[in-house]
């Protein structure tokens, strides 16, 4: 499932000047286009809400340059949840992430790098 969600998100092409809610809209459209069921603002536990949960794939969206320390703490909160088997961070900027955290897969989609051709 992670690869299916990842492929859908890698097809997103965004204009440069956008708000975070615009990114949410594009993510929703990409998931819908690939008929991937999801919950927006999914509550994982008390005080723990993730931007999107597509099956067991968590999706976290970052508009600006993510603060690495804060992002890692956020990912840890999500990945300790049984409902989340993998995470995809969708960000305008690149950030260094581990390939796995808590033995769960972590991926990064950098929107500013998705300006080339989109092939099926």
- Structure confidence by residue, pLDDT tens digits, 27-62: 999 999 999 999 999 999 998 999 999 999 999 999
H runs (alpha helix) in 1-120: 2-9, 20-33, 68-79
Given this model, what pLDDT does residue 103 score? 97
Say whether pLDDT at 119 is over 50: no
Do 55 and 24 meet the contact criterion of CB atoms below 8 Å apart?
no
The pLDDT tens digits of the residues spanning 57-72 come to 999 999 888 999 999 9
Exposed / middle / buried, residue 87 (Cβ in 10 Å: 0-12, 13-18, 19+): buried
DSSP tag of 14: -
Say whether pLDDT at 16 is over 90: no
The pLDDT tens digits of the residues spanning 76-102 come to 999 999 999 999 999 988 999 999 999
Domain 2-113 grouped into CATH 3.40.960: yes
The predicted model gives 1-7 an average pLDDT of 93
Given this model, what pLDDT does residue 95 score? 93
């Amino acid at each position: 499932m992670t690869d299916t969600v990842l492929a859908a998100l890698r097809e997103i092409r965004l204009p440069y000047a956008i708000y975070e809610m615009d990114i949410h809209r594009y993510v929703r459209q990409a998931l819908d286009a690939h008929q991937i069921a999801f919950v927006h603002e999914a509550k994982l536990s008390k005080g723990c809400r993730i931007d999107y949960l597509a099956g067991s794939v968590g999706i976290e969206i970052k508009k600006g340059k993510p603060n690495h320390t804060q992002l890692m703490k956020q990912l840890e909160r999500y990945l300790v949840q049984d409902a989340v088997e993998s995470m995809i961070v969708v960000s305008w900027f690149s950030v260094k992430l581990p390939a796995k955290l808590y033995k769960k897969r972590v991926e990064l989609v950098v929107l500013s790098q998705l300006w080339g051709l989109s092939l099926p």
